[in-house]
Structure 1
Amino acid sequence: MQFGFSTNAFREYDLAESIEAIADAGYDGVELLFDEPHLYPPDASEDDYDAVRRALEESDIAISNGNAFMLTAIEDFHHPSYVEPDPEYRRERIDYTLAALETAAELEIPYISIEPGGPIPEGKSREWAMDRFVDALEEVADRAEDVGVDLLVEPEPDLLIETSGEFLDLLERVDSGRVKCNFDAGHFYCVGEDPAELVDPLWEYTDHYHLEDIPADRTHEHTQLGDGAMDIDAFLGELEGRGYEGYVTVELYPYEETAIQTANEAMDYLEERGWT
């Protein structure tokens, strides 16, 4: 398997600096944040794409994923979502995702990770939110088919799709092979599931994995590898046992103030445990 590191921890650096630092730390891939201050798809130009290609070539590193989850360019990590009560505000998330698919295609990224619906709005039922999310997915999946890029729904605590079961239920309602899973090991651990045990049932739907550690109380707090309570070795062992050759991207966005040190220490952990 190959390891990447997400630039969402490097929001105090420009994208070229982030790519260079992640490559210098020894990673195989870099996850591009499709948001300000890095590469925001609705505003991306050919010059921006050329700059990304140049930075990747100079650092001899590949792209592990296009992160189209966070949306601070408009509001925050979770808003606007696919399940906003205001249809115009909801439209902003859909249009952003359509632009993200075009950006991924331009950079030859085979998939993007996306929000699992969003927080269920106050006063709305889960069923209402699911209907809105399915409608949105059906629209963006058509564009995904056209450009040849997969949509990886990333289950997350406290959002519409939290668990592996809820993700599999979603797939029953969406008629597109382009809709798959961004398997975030820490997120599943937070909601009481064992990431190692989920590798098998989600295997055929998973293009990409996120990795971080999580505290023993399962609080949704992305924690440096080895500083939490997850059995990271068991999880990575399941992937290795299946001959996984894709990317596992370390996602430690809370560590903005120490991004370079954090990336290096996460790689040190992986090396010491014999995973690289």
Structure 2
Amino acid sequence: MPRFAANLSMLFTERPFLERFAAAAEAGFEGVEFLFPYDHEMADLVAARDAAGVEQVLHNLPPGDWEAGERGIAILPDRVEEFRDGVETALRYASVLGCRQLNCLAGITPEDADPLELEATFVANLRYAAERLGEVGIRLLIEPINTRDMPGFYLSTSAQALAVMDAVGSDNLFLQYDIYHMQVMEGDIAARLGALLPRIAHVQFADTPGRHEPGTGELNFPFLFAYLDRIGYAGWASAEYRPRGGTDESLAWLAAARAGSP
């Protein structure tokens, strides 16, 4: 089975944020991730991580004004300096937390924008960030996100992500493959995981429809977890779902996976 991490922005939200590290460890997760660390003191995050004994496996670069609806600024030609400043901010947090992967959210496509200019900006920003993070051994990831949940998101398919990665031409740029988003956009999850495996550095998951825990929808997660193992996936698989009830009540899938149940 893969190593499982909990996304603390979506799981254990019944507890204050810094208490979620210990809750994840108690539930059986070996790692944690979250959207953004920037509202918290580094020392508090490190203390929570160390007390829980979990690994910090991922967080995102600063996304712009999240509360105002921004979902990344990497495609925006007039925000390049802000993007580069954000890389440095993320790097400081990741270095202190021992986090070896950072995800770059592309952003929402502006109305009447020049597609070629957006693409060129995205490629240039990713090339810069991949090189900068590579200097200290941190991997850069990009994630396609479905346009039903996030209308207008620039990067929405695995094929588009691979084309961008090829244009960047860096050996420090990888695919973050979210099973939920890609089931909505593409389907054929097992075949795509197998074909994309050399480019994938991180996997996230939730069931469809509803983005709830495994076992609530159409996907066969016991098969998919075993399949990831069979094809040699060596990264983390992170639970990024909205529990239908409380988080603790949503974790039957984890107990089954850890027990090797079919």
- TM-score computed with the length of structure 2 as normaliser: 0.84
Tell me the secondary structure at the aligned position of residue 119 of structure 2.
helix
Q: What is the CA distance between 1:122 and its match in structure 2?
A: 0.8
Q: In 2, are the aligned partners of 1:70 and 1:76 still within 8 Å (CA)?
A: no
Q: In 2, are the aligned partners of 1:113 and 1:154 still within 8 Å (CA)?
A: yes
* Structure 2: gaps spanning 5 or more residues: 148-152
AA matched with 2:142: V
1:168 to 162, 169, 177: 162
Distance 1:172 1:246, change over 3 A: closer
Q: In 1, are the aligned partners of 2:83 and 2:125 still within 8 Å (CA)?
A: no
Separation in 2 of the partners of 1:201 and 1:226?
25
1:209 corresponding residue in structure 2: 203
Residues 116-168 of structure 1, C-alpha deviation per residue, up to 9 Å, x if partnerless? x2222111243332112112112212211222111110111232221121111
AA matched with 2:73: S
AA matched with 2:225: L
| Divergent runs of 4+, >4 A | 10-13, 69-74, 273-276
1:75 to 68, 79, 85: 68
2:54 to 61, 65, 70: 61
1:267 to 251, 256, 259: 251
Q: Are residues 1:148 and 2:141 paired?
A: no
Q: In 2, are the aligned partners of 1:153 and 1:182 still within 8 Å (CA)?
A: yes
Q: How many residues align?
A: 253
1:64-213 paired onto structure 2 within 5 Å:
64-68=57-61, 75-76=68-69, 78=71, 80-84=72-76, 87-88=78-79, 91-115=81-105, 117-158=106-147, 159-213=153-207
Distance 1:168 1:162, change over 3 A: same
* Structure 1: gaps spanning 5 or more residues: 216-220
Separation in 2 of the partners of 1:195 and 1:69?
29
Distance 1:223 1:147, change over 3 A: same
Distance 1:270 1:54, change over 3 A: same
Tell me the secondary structure at the aligned position of residue 147 of structure 1.
coil
Which sits farther off after the overlay, 231-240 or 5-14?
5-14
Separation in 1 of the partners of 2:113 and 2:181?
24
Q: In 2, are the aligned partners of 1:181 and 1:205 still within 8 Å (CA)?
A: yes
1:218 corresponding residue in structure 2: none
Distance 1:71 1:26, change over 3 A: farther
Separation in 1 of the partners of 2:70 and 2:112?
21
Q: What is the CA distance between 1:6 and its match in structure 2?
A: 0.6
Tell me the secondary structure at the aligned position of residue 218 of structure 2.
coil
Q: In 1, are the aligned partners of 2:133 and 2:140 still within 8 Å (CA)?
A: yes
Separation in 2 of the partners of 1:240 and 1:30?
20
AA matched with 1:102: R
Q: What is the CA distance between 1:33 and its match in structure 2?
A: 3.2
Separation in 1 of the partners of 2:34 and 2:84?
19
Separation in 1 of the partners of 2:229 and 2:191?
14
Which sits farther off after the overlay, 185-194 or 65-74?
65-74
Q: In 1, are the aligned partners of 2:62 and 2:90 still within 8 Å (CA)?
A: no
Separation in 2 of the partners of 1:82 and 1:135?
9
**Aligned sequence identity (%):** 24
Separation in 2 of the partners of 1:73 and 1:161?
17
Tell me the secondary structure at the aligned position of residue 32 of structure 2.
strand
Separation in 1 of the partners of 2:62 and 2:3?
22
Aligned CA RMSD, in angstroms, stands at: 2.6
1:52 corresponding residue in structure 2: 45
Distance 1:147 1:121, change over 3 A: same
Distance 1:33 1:156, change over 3 A: closer
Q: In 2, are the aligned partners of 1:120 and 1:160 still within 8 Å (CA)?
A: yes
